[in-house]
Chain A
Amino acid sequence: MSSKHRNIEKRKYQFTEKISTQIWHEHPCPENPYLPQSAYCYGYDLLELINKRSYTDVFYLIFRGELPTLEQSDLLEKLMVALINPGPRHPATRGAMIAGVGKTDPSLILPISLSIFSGTHVGAGCIEEAMIFMSENIDKNPGILAKNLLSNSKPPSEGDWHPAPGFGSRFNGIDMLTHEFAKRLSCMLGAGPALQWGEEFATSLKPHGIGWLVTGVAAATFCDLGFHPRVGPGLFQLLCAPGLLAHGIELANKPFTAMPFPSDKDYLIEDE
């Protein structure tokens, strides 16, 4: 059987000689080709952007290729504020805190926390799916779709129910703070059909004890701002990163005892 595998033939792939990008253009210094003397983002001089535009505008530019309108920039900035901190109870934040109190190198606290935050349960791992779900269903009647989805799905015997990406229960209830985010964002001038459709969809789900998840609100806003679904997970991580890092660093100079360590009586070894 093995003789056929002893002859290894290279395939004729044409790998590119150089990396290409539409995002960034660096002009070299005359005296050193490795050092830039200027940098351009989608054609705009970075130094000019520093003088004239906000961080939010340039954040939008680097992912979309064009500067936002005032309305789009305002919507993105409000979402950035809404998402700035998943809060100290979130498992990703606690990952940052445990890393901090465990004296992990501070430069690794954020990557550690963001890795936890990549999960598909109310994390970055479900943003792309939520964006695709909204894009595919935005022309459908949200009430009818909700009814169909709920009739084809049933709550799990334990834990939360997420019958649609970006929508479901949190701790067996409706996350009202997230609903407030959605309400405020959907009223803004930059809001588009995804946020508005999501509001109606969430209203249809409410009698069943489920509603918007924060991932759904983020996904809908990203859709309305024109971001590609594939960039959604990373955007969500970026927007939530400040709170994750802040909580991790807050614990970094504290002793091990600043975080709970369950006693032996509270650590129960069960049969498999």
Chain B
Amino acid sequence: MVKNNTEIWDQARGNIRSRKGGWRVGEGVFCHGYNMMDDFVGHVSYMQVVLLNATGRFPEKRLADWFEAIHICLSWPDSRIWCNQIGALGGSMRTTVVAATSAGIMAGDSRAYGPKTLLQGMNFIRQSIKEKRNGLTAEEIVTNECSKHNGKPKIMGFARPLVKGDERIPAMERTSQHLGFDIGEHLALAYEIENVMLSKFDEKMNINAYISAFLLDQGFSPNEVYQTFSVLLSSGITACYIDTFERPPESFLPLRCDDIVYQGPPHRPVPERD
């Protein structure tokens, strides 16, 4: 019998190899080569460390400030929002705040909203830049993309669900300008695409396309952005949890039996097992 080659697993048994850092008892706590207590605490912002851990690169302060601003834009305490509603239900059922917030964050790991949608948004803008460099106009890019959806204006980052327009974009435009960021090649194309979407479909850019294009201009990959935003939705979820935790149990959108519409088969006798 030929033995399987298990060398890579044998080498990893009983030890941990980290490319990120660790705690050397008596020496210090290290993070990507930095001494966390000496180099970071009191000297850098928390968001700079978040970005370092998510990307492996230590960012300039203004970029971390931009990320802090976008976190404010993307999580707010309205318990109708799907992930927030999970937090509210958790408070109503007296889960712990950590369980409810974690559950809400997982709910936001969705293909319809939340940080994962930035993968698709960034991939679209990245692909569009390639096409533009190959000579396509913004109008042709939009037409090609919409043709994948029977001509409908379905492009991630454009045509926001629930409403038209996005109040977060002017807030972030103001912030980007204040922090001294110029409009780069990707963001300029996103605005061109928006103009086409407006004239053809009366649809506007949403914050997904703004973030996607801006962060591509800053040299981020889609995965780096997804990784950085892993707990993006947490603060609004926590707020919604606390709101219902401070009220009587099960008093968040309570349902009477007849509030559920039954659409299944009529009542029937249970057959005996064969």
Contacts and interface: CB of A to CB of B under 8 A. Distances in A.
Pair from one complex:
yes
Interface stretch (B62-70, B167-175, B213-221, B233-241): B167-175
Interface string B1-43: 0001110110000111111111011000010110000000000
Contacts of B106: 115
A267 B258 CA distance: 59
Given A5-B165, A28-B257, A171-B6, A264 B25 contact: yes
Nearest to A44: B270
Interface string B153-175: 00000000111111101100110
B260 interface: yes
A26 B270 CA distance: 17
Given A19-B259, A262-B15, A52 B164 contact: no
Nearest to B165: A8
Contacts of B164: 8-9, 11
Mostly helix, strand, loop or mixed at chain A's interface?
A: mixed
B99 interface: yes
A268 B167 contact: no
A25 B257 CA distance: 8
Contacts of A145: none
Nearest to A262: B16
B191 A13 contact: no
Q: Size range of the interface on B?
A: 35 or more
Given A1-B173, A171-B4, A67 B56 contact: no
Contacts of B6: 171-173
Contacts of A1: 173, 191
Contacts of A42: 264-265
B259 A173 contact: no
Contacts of B8: 158-159
Interface residues of A, number: 65
B17 A268 contact: yes
Interface in A18-39: 18-28, 33-36
A266 B163 contact: no
A239 to B, nearest CB: 21
A49 interface: yes
Contacts of B16: 262, 266-268
Contacts of B263: 20-22
Contacts, number: 167
B56 A5 contact: no
Given A4-B204, A268-B15, A44 B162 contact: no
Interface string A221-241: 000000000000000000000
A33 B269 CA distance: 25
Which of B32, B56, B261 has the most chain A CB atoms inside 10 A of its CB? Answer: B261
Given A2-B173, A28-B258, A43-B266, A269 B18 contact: yes
A108 interface: yes
Nearest to A13: B162
A172 B8 CA distance: 10
Given A2-B170, A115-B106, A262-B16, A34 B254 contact: yes
A48 B19 contact: no
Contacts of B173: 1-2
Nearest to B173: A2
A48 B269 CA distance: 8
A45 B267 contact: yes
Contacts of A18: 259-261
A9 B163 CA distance: 5
Contact of B268 (A43, A107, A173): A43
Contact of B165 (A9, A28, A267): A9
Contacts of B161: 11
Contact of A270 (B4, B17, B165, B170): B17
Given A11-B161, A271-B19, 5 more contacts: A5-B205, A20-B262, A44-B270, A69-B274, A171-B9
7 contacts: A2-B169, A6-B165, A10-B162, A21-B263, A43-B268, A159-B8, A262-B15
Interface of B: 4-6, 8-9, 14-22, 24-25, 30, 32-33, 56, 96, 99, 103, 106, 161-167, 169-170, 173-174, 191, 198, 204-205, 254-274
The 7 closest A-B pairs by CB, nearest first: A2-B170, A173-B4, A28-B257, A22-B264, A20-B261, A43-B265, A25-B262
Interface of A: 1-11, 13, 18-28, 33-36, 40, 42-45, 48-49, 51-54, 57, 65, 67, 69-70, 73, 105, 107-108, 111, 115, 158-159, 171-173, 209, 260, 262, 264, 266-272
